[in-house]
Amino acid sequence: MINVTKTYLPDKEKYKKYIDQIYANGWVTNRGPLVRELEQRLAEYLGVKNLVLVANGTVALEIAYRTLDIKDYVITTPFSFVATTSSLVTNGLKPVFSDINPDTLNINPQNITNSITKNTSAIVPVHVFGNACDVEQIDNIAKENDLKVIYDAAHAFGVNYKGQSILNYGNISTLSFHATKLFHTIEGGALVINDDDLVEKARYLINFGIENRESIPELGTNAKMNEFEAAMGLCMLDEIESVLEERKAVFENYKLALEGVVKLQKPNTHSSNNHGYFPILLENENQMDQVQQALNRHEIHPRRYFHPSLNTLSYIEPKQDMPISQDISKRILSLPIYPELTKKEQVNIINVIQGAL
């Protein structure tokens, strides 16, 4: 069976050595030495100044909202993983959706401008499938309207824009290090914070709001990464270049075979590609069903990233019509892509798609 992704597991012996260190020092959580080492190494690798590791990508978003004191209404995209929206709702914030560009699949900056009111406090765009948003236009809109920007960069590990990390844009960028991602810590995530003064606030917010033994200045939560997850991250970082190269080879094979056969996401020409996903757009939902069922008959399981469009979720009120996102979400499939996918398996996937069209 071929699933849409397969968790990459690095060298077992190297991981065991880190586990031996944990057993030797008895420090398993509360910002231990491996968490601190991973924070430093990731910041250097990604080209960012301040990186705070957390338990997962969803709490990374939640801590970002609290760190920036986000209130009331937040403009965001309807085309993303559900956590982009649910993290707002669970923190008492009200999502205001702005429809996407049908080619890039990212939030359309023009629609952002049309959605701003006196009660808007922030914008939460998503670099969908690692494709960089129009960060310059979004940041300009934010400055003109005194809004904060939190980029959901869950897919954008290692992506550069005009020669620097995409994570350096906005007030905060958040990452997901879930096991399905190209870089993972089993579960985990991170905040990249551009304001030095906010870093320590984020650190005590992820530790129940405890600033020190004498002070608990704000309501916090338990969002800390543990040492076993950090150990996995350190092993992954040692092997990340080979992971990226193998994913690139799979991506390029798909592109060569399917470009012109199906519609592909339009890349940001100023942005690098981490080859984390390979989405294809079919002509309509019936054709998508036809291709998906053909693949399933061969034990190949793509995913409908992202379906449904988030503006249609049951807990979103009032309802907001997002025709482009709703259309795209009904006819998109993300194909299997991971380092261990063989050329033979990929040829089979391509042949099944071509035969079903």
Residues 23-34 have pLDDT tens digits of 999 999 999 999
The residues pairing with 207 across neighbouring beta strands, listed in sequence order, are 222
The 10s digit of each residue's pLDDT in 186-244 is: 999 999 998 999 999 999 999 999 988 888 988 999 999 999 999 999 999 999 999 99
The pLDDT of residue 262 is 98
Domain end among 184, 201, 234: 234
> 176 and 307: one domain?
no
> 93 and 226: one domain?
yes
> 24 and 134: one domain?
yes
The pLDDT of residue 214 is 81
> 52 and 198: one domain?
yes
> 323 and 228: one domain?
no
d(CA 249, CA 218): 47
> 250 and 155: one domain?
no
Q: Which residue positions in the chain have pLDDT lower than 50?
A: none
> 249 and 171: one domain?
no
Collect all residues with Cβ–Cβ distance below 8 Å to 251 and sequence separation of at least 6. 273, 275, 278, 337
Q: Residue 271 maps to which CATH number?
A: 3.90.1150.10
Q: Which domain holds residue 15?
A: 2-98+105-234
**Total domains present in the chain:** 2
> 244 and 270: one domain?
yes
> 348 and 294: one domain?
yes
> 21 and 111: one domain?
yes
d(CA 189, CA 172): 13
Collect all residues with Cβ–Cβ distance below 8 Å to 8 and sequence separation of at least 6. 182, 184, 236, 239, 243, 338, 339, 340
> 42 and 59: one domain?
yes
The pLDDT of residue 211 is 85
Domain end among 234, 262, 287: 234
Indicate whether this model's pTM tops 0.95. Answer: yes
d(CA 336, CA 352): 13
> 267 and 203: one domain?
no
Collect all residues with Cβ–Cβ distance below 8 Å to 222 and sequence separation of at least 6. 55, 206, 207, 208
Domain end among 190, 219, 234: 234
